[in-house]
Amino acid sequence: MTPHLLLVEDEEAISLPLRDRLVRNGYTVDVAMDGHTALDLATTAVYQLILLDIQLPGKSGLDVCRDLRQRGIQTPILMLTAFGETTDKVLGLKLGADDYLAKPFDNAELLARIEALLRRAAPAPSTILAIGPIRIDLRAATVQLNGQPVTLSAREFQVLAYFAARPGVLVTREELLTEVWGYDPQMSTRTVDVHIGWLRQKLEQDPKNPTLFVTRIGLGYQFVPPVKAV
């Protein structure tokens, strides 16, 4: 997909050559010449990035930035500030801009900044852990076993996620209490055993003879990734 940029700049001497340059670099570009148009466009079309001049007729770039963020629009914003206007830079970042570049800027640097912001905003890599027949979606906090959803409590999910990130590693009850429950001297390690029991009921083929959450007597538990039965 071609990244779609909104260029907000009222000086044609800057905006026209810059737009051509961006198009030559593979972007599609809309241009707004004042703050109100910028806000209208940015709230109605989907952009991957907004290049936002500060000194604009109608509504300043800082106001546009603030209004967009207040409306929940999280499109990355690269502020184009006049040379030496440090307060504008600081204010822009406080209002939710992601980066700034002082005019006059070097085109190569602008292109590099744009690429960096687009990379940063790209969707995070998959958060699905596939462990034998178990699929754990860390972001959605959901679990499937053999393609069927499994209902876990929040704590059970946290315990499972903790083990799943450490396959084969011996985990002590104290470590689990500290890392998953948050250390509380009143809490009994028995709590851990109860939760492991529940997870076994929900995820083990034979909960009475667990092969997934294996007890290491006197030590703790070990999560042994299963091999899917053929």
Choice between 35 and 210, CB closer to Ca ion: 35
d(CA 64, CA 56): 10
**Bridge-based pairing state of the strands 4-8 and 170-171:** unpaired
Helices 154-164 + 190-203 axis angle, to 10: 80
Choice between 40 and 184, CB closer to Ca ion: 40
Choice between 53 and 67, CB closer to Ca ion: 53
Q: Which of 134, 129, 130, 128 lies closest to 205, judged by CA?
A: 134
List CB contacts of 105: < 8 A, sequence separation 6 or more. Answer: 80
One of 10, 67, 88, 156 touching Ca ion (CB under 5 A): 10
**To which residue do tokens 């009143």 refer?**
186
Q: Quick one: which segment of 53-61, 103-111, 137-145, 168-176 binds Ca ion (CB under 5 A)? A: 53-61
Choice between 56 and 180, CB closer to Ca ion: 56
Choice between 51 and 136, CB closer to Ca ion: 51
Residues in the chain: 230
d(CA 156, CA 132): 19
Give the DSSP H/E element, type plus range, for residue 216. strand 213-216
Q: Quick one: which segment of 52-60, 70-78, 131-139, 217-225 binds Ca ion (CB under 5 A)? A: 52-60
Q: Quick one: which segment of 47-55, 88-96, 184-192, 195-203 binds Ca ion (CB under 5 A)? A: 47-55
Which residue's beta carbon is nearest to the bound Ca ion? 55
The answer to whether 60 contacts Ca ion (rule: CB under 5 A) is no
One of 55, 60, 158, 205 touching Ca ion (CB under 5 A): 55
Do the beta carbons of residue 203 and residue 194 sit within 8 Å? no
One of 35, 53, 75, 160 touching Ca ion (CB under 5 A): 53
Choice between 61 and 220, CB closer to Ca ion: 61
Give residues in contact with Ca ion (CB under 5 A).
10, 53, 55
